[in-house]
Amino acid sequence: MVTIIKVSKMVIASIGSLLLSPLFWIVIGITYYMYGKSSYLEMRMLGHKISQWEKIKNSVLAGLMAGIIGSSVSVFLGITIEQYSSQSGYMSSGILYLWVIALLLSLINVRYLCFSYAGGIVALMNLLFGFPNINPVGIMALVGILHLVESMLIWLDGYSDAVPAFLKRKDGSVVGGYIMNRVWPLPMMILFAIMVTGSIGESVPMPDWWPIIRQPGLDLNMDDLMYVLQPIPVLLGYGDIAITKTPDRRCRDSALKLFIYSLILILLSAIASKIHFFAYIAAIFAPLAHEILILHGQREEQEGKALFDAPESGLKILFCRKGYPGIKMNLEPGDIILGINNIRIDKEEDLSDFLKTNPSYIWLDIVKANGEKKIVEYKDYEKGISSLGLLIVPKAPNMYLEINTKARLLSGIKGLRKK
């Protein structure tokens, strides 16, 4: 217990020092820029921009929590990504190789800006050619841990500030859906194994069973070996669309699959630290299984039954704006409005024309997403009711976003025109 407390203090202190580093603030700057790119869509669909600073605050807090958890798991497993050389003590910059390759891959497709692809390539290069001078098992374990904490972030925060939109699928149909775009800056700890002689500063003796994932080929006297914590900034991102499910359900389905993927990769890395052949399996599994997850998810949303398609009769709700009567009437995305004040409505114009009369009392005949029929009502005798604050799935949309999975999630806005 004393060892755990001491190591935890060292991890938290190292993370604290990284929060003051210019590199971490550069990562936050990138986060601000990436959130700024979605402001135009928010303005078009919501009528206002979501505060970038509010997004960043929430992302930094979530990333800090995830960074502490990920760093603790990394230290507990004893993962190192730098290949120690007993002759020169030289430690290569494994993280730098990951970033460079990930950035080069992103020129092909933005989703390749992920350590699962870059990590697999770097690990295979080392296993096949001995270059770069990194620990392939540690690289794969680190990728597994990063996806582990990413799955937690997606589960808890992936659907925050999801933006409703009208999306054009491959079959040409335009349906309602949501765009999720979250970025999390993480302060992470990685370990370096170094040879020490003579007296050293503050250190924590670790138990005999540690490290769990031992660096292959590191046959040194553990009494002369010290692991040093080094903080690094990491940026995790999640971009997805929800067409067949609500944003929270879509995120939780994705998070569960990613969680299982990360556990398998960490397990393969642990076995690879004992059986060298499994290092090749882990290096191939990381990018291949990740790509299968991505393609499967895209296919589900492209070909599955749309949750927010336009019904034959009535109007389906895609989004309810805060502060408007729709929210106060407990209307929800997926509900279908069949009529208002005993007047049947099948077009958006039917609803807007009725509300132009500024009624003081209304009741709606609706069908909930689960098939339940209800009547909800609202009254405002002082100001009247001119808008419900609803975004309706259009039957003849004149604005939509075209899904492009080959380059970017969204390639552009098509058919924009003023009404």
User: Rounded CA gap, 187 and 320, in Å?
Assistant: 36
pLDDT of residue 26: 86
pLDDT of residue 256: 97
Domain boundaries, the chain: 2-303, 315-392
Look-up of token digits 């669309």: 241
What CATH class has 315-392? mainly beta
Instruction: Going residue by residue through the chain, which has 419 residues, state the pLDDT in tens, using 9 for 90 and above.
Output: 556 666 667 777 777 777 778 888 888 888 888 888 878 888 888 878 888 889 999 999 999 899 888 888 888 888 887 755 444 444 446 677 887 888 888 778 777 878 899 999 999 999 999 888 788 998 999 999 999 999 999 999 999 999 999 888 888 888 899 999 899 998 887 776 655 555 555 566 666 767 777 776 555 455 556 667 777 888 888 889 999 999 999 999 999 999 999 999 999 999 998 899 999 999 999 999 999 999 999 889 988 999 998 898 899 999 998 889 999 999 999 999 999 999 999 888 899 999 999 999 999 999 998 889 999 999 999 899 999 999 999 887 777 777 665 544 344 444 333 33
pLDDT of residue 417: 37
User: Rounded CA gap, 369 and 380, in Å?
Assistant: 27
Question: CA 242, 182, 299 angle in degrees (round to 5)?
Answer: 30
Query: Number of helices (H) and strands (E), helices first, in the chain?
Result: 11, 11
pLDDT of residue 194: 59
pLDDT of residue 409: 37
pLDDT of residue 415: 39
DSSP 8-state assignment for residue 51: P
Q: Could you give the dihedral angle defined by the CA atoms of residues 39, 45, 49 and 54, in that order, rounded to the nearest 10 degrees?
A: -90
DSSP 8-state assignment for residue 111: G
User: Rounded CA gap, 273 and 110, in Å?
Assistant: 32
User: Rounded CA gap, 222 and 204, in Å?
Assistant: 13
- In three-state secondary structure terms, 403 is strand
* Paired sense of beta strands 373-379 and 390-392, if any: unpaired
pLDDT of residue 418: 37
User: Rounded CA gap, 319 and 165, in Å?
Assistant: 9
pLDDT of residue 172: 81
- In three-state secondary structure terms, 397 is coil
Q: Could you give the dihedral angle defined by the CA atoms of residues 327, 330, 335 and 339, in that order, rounded to the nearest 10 degrees?
A: -90
